[in-house]
Amino acid sequence: MPPRDKLATPFERVTVQYATTGGTKVMWQLHRLFTDPQPHSFQLQGAYGGVDGSDWVDIGLPVLNTFFAVDDEQRIYGKNQDWNYRVVLTTPTREYTSGAVTPRENLNFRDWRLSTDLIRKERLRLNDLVGVQGFLLKRKRYGSRCTRCVEKLSDEVTDSDCPVCNGTGILVGYYAAIPDVYIEIPPVDTSEQMDNLQAAGTVERAVVQGCRALGDPGLDVYDVFVVKGSDVRYVVRDVNDMATHRGYTIASTVTMNQLPFTDRAYKIPLEGT
Ligand SMILES: [Zn+2]
């Protein structure tokens, strides 16, 4: 275990980007070894200045056990240069405040308009034409260690099929599913796919390259995509930015593995924790 004071600030990274739905999205990442008990309540705050003594105001309602919040107000950052965000986390044990973060400096109002227009077009293309509708299960990067299968000394996961952590080593291991996520999944040669699945039983998985997803919500390796209706599940293996505008990801190319129905991933609850 690291020294106790190392986790006095569990926030590892707080980032700001424009939300595809308008407004601003603030995302945070907590330290891998942060193990305060649930629930974790996050309050987004904003202020001019952003130093101690600023008048921080709550933005929206607190959100529970998640990794982002959206400020719906359309702020023109080119004119409000000194606007800042921060996040206040309240757990059953104590309260933590992140450092202040400023919206991406190189995104002025004109760039933002261009970015949102590009995102809108990409979203229309995915939603109406080529995308498969589904749920995105974001894998947790931190949280209470699995009480059943994690080796205490080495912190290693000893059971990839563990019913408590779903093989992640962290309790339940995934956030509540994000609905209405669209991913373009190119057709795969069916016979080849079946061969792959049968040849290696439950271990080998059918690889689907050249999938395409919006930059928001961003996909990360080991996230799980659940196809609406059929419940076919894929695990994300690789993500590359494909179209960016001024540092903002419009779309990504993604490699995913289709999981056989025997895979543990089919037991991950969509409700999360
Ligand atoms: Zn486990």
User: Can you give the residue ranges of every domain in the chain?
Assistant: 4-97, 117-139+174-267, 140-172
Establish how many alpha carbons lie within 13 A of residue 31's alpha carbon, considering only the half-sphere containing its beta carbon: 17
CA distances from 95 to 4, 63, 152, 248, 264 (A): 15, 14, 27, 32, 35
Enumerate the β-bridge partners of residue 241: 252
Per residue, the 3-state secondary structure of 163-232, as one string, reads CCCCCCCECCCECCCEEEEEEECCCCCHHHHHHHHHHCCCCCCEEEEEEEEECCCCCCCCCEEEECCCCC
Mean pLDDT of 113-125: 83
pLDDT at 21: 65
Q: Give dist(CA 18, CA 258) in Å, integer.
A: 31
Instruction: For residues 250 and 247, give the distance between their C-alpha atoms in angstroms, rounded to a whole number.
Output: 9
pLDDT tens for each residue of 137-176: 999 888 888 999 999 888 889 998 999 999 999 988 998 8
Q: How far apart are CA 175 and CA 102, in angstroms?
A: 26
Instruction: Please tell me the distance between residue 94's alpha carbon and the centre of ligand 1 in angstroms.
Output: 26
Q: Give residue 20 CA to ligand 1 midpoint distance, Å.
A: 35
Give the distance (Å) from ligand 1 centre to CA of residue 154.
Answer: 14
Cα of 171 vs centre of ligand 1, distance in Å, is 7
Report the alpha-carbon distance of residue 77 to residue 58 in Å, rounded. Answer: 19
Q: How far does the centroid of ligand 1 lie from the alpha carbon of residue 145, in Å?
A: 8
Instruction: Say what percent of the chain tops pLDDT 70.
Output: 81
No. of H helices and E strands in the chain?
A: 2, 13
Amino acid symbol at 171? L
pTM as predicted? 0.73
Task: Flag the least confident range among 22-36, 52-66, 196-210.
Answer: 196-210
Asked whether the predicted pLDDT for residue 204 surpasses 60, the reply is: no
Write down how long the chain is: 273
CA of 96 to the centre of ligand 1 (A): 28
CA of 157 to the centre of ligand 1 (A): 7
Distance 169 CA to ligand 1 centre (A): 5
Amino acid 31 reads: H
Decide if 75 contacts 85 (C-beta within 8 A): no
CA 80 – ligand 1 centroid, Å: 47
Question: What's the 1 CA to ligand 1 centre distance in angstroms?
Answer: 19
pLDDT per position as a tens digit, 43-54: 999 988 756 667
- Mean pLDDT value of segment 129-135: 91
Q: Which fold has domain 4-97?
A: Immunoglobulin-like (2.60.40)
How many angstroms separate the alpha carbon of residue 37 from the centre of ligand 1? Answer: 17
Cα of 36 from ligand 1 centre, angstroms: 18
Please give the pLDDT value at position 65: 84
Tens of pLDDT along 54-105?
789 999 999 988 899 989 887 765 555 678 899 999 999 999 999 888 775 5
Q: How do residues 171-187 score in pLDDT, each as one tens digit?
A: 889 988 999 999 999 88
Nearest to 223 by CA among 166, 261, 149, 262: 166
Backbone conformation region of residue 139, classed left if phi is above 0, alpha if psi is from -120 to 50, else beta: beta
3-class secondary-structure state, position 6: helix
How many angstroms separate the alpha carbon of residue 72 from the centre of ligand 1?
Answer: 38
| pLDDT over 50 (residue 20) | yes
Give distance in angstroms: CA of 138 to centre of ligand 1.
17
Q: What is the CA(266)–ligand 1 centre distance, in A?
A: 16
- The residues whose Cβ lies within 5 A of ligand 1, an ion, are 146, 148-149, 162, 164-165
